[in-house]
Structure 1
Amino acid sequence: MSIKLEFSLLTKHTTHPPTNIAFVGFGPMPLSSITLAKFHLPNTGFYNFDIDPPANALASHLVSRDPDLSRRLIFHTTDLLNITTEVLHKEAKVKAIEYLEKHMAPEALLMLRSGFEVLTIYHPTTSEVINSVVIARKLGGQASEKQ
């Protein structure tokens, strides 16, 4: 997905640029953070979380020569929720989403990238159901790889 498209999708749901954006698992080349900061969100802070210390070191070094980017792109080496570097299992994914729901600021946005095909999105129209539902199918792989 292009960064321009991500920015377009984000701005469809906001009336003003976000003050801060968090990226989880960006790796050694935080191109989304860099491009969004440099060309689309010049006053936004970017908090980048990754479990891999070498990836963080490379990413931090990449922006270190740009005074503006090095001030606004912050890199944290952390294991969010103590989730291991192994492939996340369903329980760990649920735990991560629940953690974000509990700790995100009211009205904060969550943008997810995934290897899923969205099949249905349902937003409740009555007070009987309070949660939206998303049905998605994992892309690629074998049927036996269900999570």
Structure 2
Amino acid sequence: MMATCDSIQNHKPTRSGTSDVTHCADLALSITPPRTPTAAASAAHKLYSQIRHIHTSLATLPSLAPGEQINELLTRLVNLCIVPYGVDFTADFLAIPGVAALCDTLRPLCSAAEGELENYWALQILRDARTQANQQCEPSALLRSFPYHQNYLDLSRLECCTLDAFLPHAPRNVAFIGSGPLPLTSLCMLDRYPQVAVHNIDRDSSALQVSQELCQQLGHGARMSFVCEDITRPSTNGTDWLSFEVVFLAALVGTDTESKMSILTSLAGKLRPGSLVVARSAWGLRTVLYPSLELSANIEDTGLEVLVEVHPWTKVVNSIVVFRVKER
């Protein structure tokens, strides 16, 4: 090292005009050690490893139906994703190579598991309702047996409180797209708005059959209607879209921003001006579980205007975006 320093002090220009000083500087740059990862970056990589391990475990299960192992895996996954991480940490996590691909394969597993979970509990509650048909039993008591009942209540409360700021009066006619076999949001609407009627739309006929029978058994058949329809295709079921004051779009209707925007554009053309559309989305680490609806200036081309976007910091997983159909 001393010899090198001496040569630097007594350098002479080389034939090409460069000096030993330049050579030593280049050498120093070439052996500069890599930057030490920050604590946040290290924590983000640790979280990535945990989520990847859960994904691997879920992907190798013979079934995604409720059970001890899958329940434990999904609970761990949700708890990891709903932590209120800071902006920098979230950016570090989402920038990790492989995260985007991991999310693309993990979300369909979560979606399928959610469908299995709702179907399992819808059938269980339906059996309990039949058994206790001649007894004094509140429907809400049966619904509370669903493990995530409180989450649905909290999400519905968030949606309704947000909606009330933009509605001149309580809605009387609401549609819910993607209602599934256990239409808890629709049932929450009935409790929140005594005069409302809810039209449940799903492309899965078996899910609709279970949910319709369940609602009738619970005594809510008069204010609930059901139709099997794929809203990504031209309507053939005679749904009166102009009658709805509010339309809800479930989180799993549309797998990405592009497909969600296509659905929203279609809805804007069917609904009357002034109607509201509530689309569920996700933000931050919650996008590991659900697809996000990314808003941009292109929203003006859909025939909708954005009224508000709400991101929860509680155990509620979904964000919500409220749109209004513009005048045509």
Q: TM-score, normalised by structure 2?
A: 0.34
Q: Which residue of 2 aligns with 1:36?
A: 189
CA RMSD between the two structures: 3.5
8 Å Cα contact 2:176/2:201 also seen in 1: yes
* Deviating 4+ runs (over 6 angstroms): none
**Alignment partner of 1:111 is 2:278:** yes
Q: Which residue of 1 aligns with 2:225?
A: 74
Task: Give the deviation of 1:121 after TM superposition.
Answer: 7.9
Whole-Å Cα distance in 2 between the matches of residues 12 and 131 of structure 1?
15
8 Å Cα contact 1:121/1:134 also seen in 2: no
Unaligned runs of 5+ in 2: 1-150, 235-251, 285-291, 297-303, 310-316, 318-328
Looking at CA atoms only, which structure, 1 or 2, has the larger radius of gyration?
2
8 Å Cα contact 2:177/2:200 also seen in 1: yes
Whole-Å Cα distance in 2 between the matches of residues 108 and 12 of structure 1?
14
From the superposition, tell whether residues 116 and 76 of structure 1 become closer, same or farther in structure 2 (CA, over 3 Å): farther
From the superposition, tell whether residues 90 and 48 of structure 1 become closer, same or farther in structure 2 (CA, over 3 Å): same
From the superposition, tell whether residues 102 and 46 of structure 1 become closer, same or farther in structure 2 (CA, over 3 Å): same
Whole-Å Cα distance in 1 between the matches of residues 305 and 168 of structure 2?
23
One-letter code of the match for 1:93?
Answer: K
**Alignment partner of 1:18 is 2:185:** no
Unaligned runs of 5+ in 1: 123-129, 140-147
Aligned partner of 1:57 among 190, 209, 229: 209
Q: Which has the higher strand share?
A: 1
Q: TM-score, normalised by structure 1?
A: 0.70
Task: Give the deviation of 1:104 after TM superposition.
Answer: 0.9
Q: Which has the higher helix share?
A: 2
Give identity over the alignment, percent: 25
